[in-house]
Structure 1
């Protein structure tokens, strides 16, 4: 069983890497993800290149709390926060009015996919970094989403600056989150169940 100190050391290293513009491979409450400081356009670009993704602006961010979300999304309807709070499984909310993040992360319509992870390691990283962290599945675009570190392609592992120790994986669902889009007026659209 890892100690809190070991986890904190690992969190500190991951955060140090992201602050320096690096990208990390890390466990979330769903699947293993690629991450970086969501305010760093250069780091976001590195993730697109690593994933060989032509689909720019399709990555979500993890936030520590609703308070963090409202600092980066200024048109989110109240219902979105109620739905996120009531969700019993991982939920990504697509919210309008994204601001203050890397330009290459925000699509033309100005929305942002956000999720508050139910995962101690992720929450600690978010609190330590103090900003949203990009979260996108750790695969080459078009290939299967890796559920565990053992499923991540060597090319991805070699392409990141830091790999979080799998001991801090916790109990992930091993499947992608549900996605619900919210309009400014409170319209709701289920994208992925």
Structure 2
């Protein structure tokens, strides 16, 4: 790990533990993030994005065990399905557990992605909690494909901007989103 990487992890952890919001790279697009168990931090992200709070957001977890901690009774065959997916996939699960109430859908569901990005995995494991991941844009505006495309309006409202991967210019794509109702009953929300 480089000094910059470790410094970004340390600074991000401090901000997340204080209830702040970070701007950080994920395995898809750059995201706004906070502790997914902190309702006031989640509220702040809705305010930064100017997004209605009835629209649920995605959380990132480090591994399958984290899904089991935050979903009432997940169908374990989802993990085999995800292992075969060619791109990052977010799954909407029923029965969210232990998360901020203003983060889950009205029906108690939660959108979770097991993150494959090394920075995110380190951050989540060291925080010991999932983190919110929502695109770093004002609601209704296009999602930035790289750090350079993120508006100053967003950058000026966060508590910490991660330096890791800011120089990348290859446009990133959002994750696929599915609702898992069982192996033979998958609803594709975004491909």
Could you state the TM-score of these two structures normalised by the residue count of structure 1? 0.92
Deviation, 1:11, is 0.6
Correspondence for 1:162: 160
CA distance in 2, matches of 1:77, 1:91: 16
Change (3 A) 1:95 1:173: farther
Unaligned runs of 5+ in 1: none
- What's the secondary structure of 2:188's corresponding residue? strand
User: Does the 8 A contact of 1:31 with 1:147 survive in 2?
Assistant: yes
Superposition pairs for residues 76-95 of structure 1, below 5 Å? 76-95=74-93
Q: Is the 8 A contact 2:53 2:102 kept in 1?
A: no
Query: How far 1:123 moved relative to its partner?
Result: 0.8
1:61 Cα offset (Å) = 0.3
Please say if 1:75 is aligned against 2:109: no
**Deviations 1:50-80, CA, capped at 9 Å, x for gaps:** 1000153421000000001110111221222
For structure 2, the 5+ residue unaligned runs are none
Deviation, structure 1 residue 5: 3.6
Counterpart of 2:146? 148
Query: What is the count of residue pairs matched by the alignment?
Result: 191
In structure 2, how many angstroms separate the alpha carbons of the residues matched to 1:62 and 1:116? 6
Q: Does the 8 Å CA contact 2:146/2:168 hold for their aligned counterparts? A: no
Alignment match of 2:107 (pick from 109, 124, 130): 109
- Runs of 4+ in structure 1 deviating by more than 6 angstroms, as ranges, are 168-173
| 3-state SS in 2 of match to 1:81 | helix
Q: TM-score if structure 2 supplies the norm length?
A: 0.93
Q: Judge which range, 18-27 or 87-96, deviates more.
A: 87-96
Tell me the SS of whatever aligns to 2:165.
helix
Provide the secondary structure at the position in 2 that maps to 1:46.
Answer: helix
* RMSD of aligned Cα (Å): 1.9
* CA deviation after TM superposition for structure 1 residue 183, in Å: 2.5
Moved more, 150-159 or 179-188: 179-188
**98, 121, 124: which is aligned to 2:122?**
124
Could you tell me how far apart the structure 2 residues matched to 1:94 and 1:123 are? 20
Q: Which residue of structure 2 aligns with residue 18 of structure 1? A: 16
Q: Residue by residue, what CA displacement relative to the aligned partner does 1:113-161 show, whole Å, maximum 9, x if unpaired?
A: 1111221111110111111000000000000001111111111101000
